[in-house]
Each structure stands twice: as structure tokens, then as C-alpha cells.
Amino acid sequence: MDGGALMTGIEVRGATKRYGALTAVDDLSFTVREGAVTAFLGPNGAGKTTTMRMMVGHITPTSGSVTIGGRRYRDIPRPTTVVGAAFDAGSFHPQHTARDHLRIYAAMGGHPDARVAELLALLALTEAAGRRTATFSTGMRQRLNLATALLGDPRVLLLDEPGNGLDPQGMAWLRAFLRGLAEEGRTVLVSSHALGEMEQFADDVVVIGRGRLVTAGPLAELAGAAHAVLVRTPDATGLTKTLAGAGHRVEALGPQELRVRGLDAAGVGDLAALEGLRIHGLTTEHLGLEQLFLELTGPPGATGPGTPADGRSTP
């Protein structure tokens, strides 16, 4: 396979994309490593699709660079043997059958026609191969989109919401399939809103907001570092004032219950002791990926500290 021996990690370095006065992606830098599934997360309009389209040359950065294996997409010989992208599950000619669609793209990429039958079987589309794509369900379109991306047996996969429309059985299959590709040493970048699903099989996480990097790293490390402390105290008012004055975030859950961010249980206890405040209970609450995402980006429409405007990771 052409490019099979290439290093195929993705490097985004200072990438910026402007459309007139609108900055869609702003000085964005991160790495996607080989042999891993990386979840690419961010609110709607954060710049995820723009960034992924820069990776395959559909969009040219205003400044900065996006490379795969150290090369721009347009500089890779026979790029579909190195990079497979699945962005729009609705972009099929409605009168083409699934087999017709794959044969056309196989011919365009110089891939053997035999690959079409292989992928129809691999993606469980053999029985639907003769059907027109206009009759396909959303889930079937997702499978055909993935089959198209895999025609060149690429070492890099860029997938934008590949789980949309899949039922629970289909999602379980997709998780196992993408994990298998990563275990073969491939680079798999998945943009998704299905955070609970991504938590089950992603190795790394990249989170962006307003076109800027919020945080990036191994999921296990980010989730391990993301926690809150649940506090039971009859001195909730005084402890809230003390913690807030020290720069920690405090949420009142009840008259005697607080949730504290940015400090571990021992730290909460030490501060309370210094002020002579009573503590009746401390519990560490670890965040899942969905909670972590909301912690980092804030709720939809938020403009507070959870949605950074300076490109730095939030604490």
C-alpha cells in the first residue's frame, strides 16, 4: 500500500482560518497520534469540521499548518491510500446504488474493483448493494460513508459524527470496528457529540471552543484530573466565602451541601480547619466525559470561564 510505511500522525500547528471578519479557527495546535482513537470534541460552531476539512485540503488555512506524516494532504502521492475521510453521510447520488457509488470512487482513487465487494461485506451492506442510496436509512448511509473512506485501506481515518443514526447494536459494532483499526496502528480521529459512546473507546481527547484549543491529552489522565469535592457542612456560608476568596469554584447543592471545583478533599478540609469551620463529610466526585466536556466548554451559549476566549486550557 502506498504510504503504508509513512508516519501518519496528524500535526496541527498554529492553524488559523478566517472568513472576512469571522475567525472560524484561531491559532489552533494539537497532535493526533498513531495507534489511537482520538475524540475531537467541541460545541456546535467550535471549528471542528473546519479543522478536519483543512486536514484533507478542502479548506486552506489562512495561516499555520496542518500535516499528516509531516506532509500536507495535497503533497501526499495517492492520498486516499493514506487518508480516508467521512464527513457528510448525505452526499450520495440518490439514483446510484451502493455498489455503483463505491465503484465510482474506487475508480477515481485507482483502487481495485475487488475492494468494493470486500467493503460491502465488511460494512454489512452486501444485501443492500443493489439498492439506490435514496432508500437508505441514516445508519446505512453512515456505513456507506465509512466504506467510501476505507477504499484505499488508509492509515488515517477522519470521521465526522460517524455514529449518527446508528442504533445501539450499530454503535457497539462501530466502537469495536474503530478500536480494531487503531490497534492495527492506524490514526483515527472522530468528531462526535455522543460523549458517552466516545468515553467507552477513545484513547485521547482534543477539546476546542471558539476555534481555539481548550485541552488535549489522554482521556484517562484528563478524566482522572477532573473531579469535584462534595462537602457537607453546617457552616456552608462561611466555607463558600473562604473557598471563593481563595479562587475556587463553589456550587450550593443545599443549605448544608456544596460542590467544590479546583481543590481536592484534603485541601477543602485544611482551609475549613484554618477558619474554624465545621466539616461533616467530604466525598470526591469523579467526572465522566460528558461532565468533563461541560466543565471545559460550559453549557450551550455560555460565555463564562468555562468557554475560554484566550485559547488556554481551563483549570
pLDDT (tens digit, 9 = 90+) per residue, 235-245? 999 999 999 99
Give the pLDDT confidence score for residue 90 in this predicted structure.
67
Measured CA to CA, the distance from residue 187 to residue 201 in angstroms comes to: 14
Residues 100 and 160 in one domain: yes
For 83-105, write each residue's pLDDT tens digit.
999 987 667 899 999 999 999 99
CATH (domain of 266): 3.30.70
Residues 91 and 196 in one domain: yes
| For residue 167, pLDDT beyond 60 | yes
- Residue 304's Cβ-side half-sphere holds a number of Cα atoms within 13 Å equal to 9
227 beta partners: 286
CATH (domain of 120): 3.40.50.300
Residues 213 and 238 in one domain: no
Give the pLDDT confidence score for residue 278 in this predicted structure.
95
For 106-138, write each residue's pLDDT tens digit.
999 999 999 999 999 999 999 999 999 999 988
- Mark which of 189, 217, 245 sits at the end of a domain: 217
Measured CA to CA, the distance from residue 148 to residue 160 in angstroms comes to: 13
Average of per-residue pLDDT across 186-201: 88
Measured CA to CA, the distance from residue 289 to residue 217 in angstroms comes to: 13
Domain span including residue 210:
10-217
Q: Nearest CA to 245 among 277, 282, 223, 214?
A: 277
Q: How many domains does the chain have?
A: 2
- Mark which of 217, 241, 267 sits at the end of a domain: 217
pTM of this prediction? 0.76
- Residue 172's Cβ-side half-sphere holds a number of Cα atoms within 13 Å equal to 3
Average predicted confidence (pLDDT) for the chain: 87
Residues 125 and 43 in one domain: yes
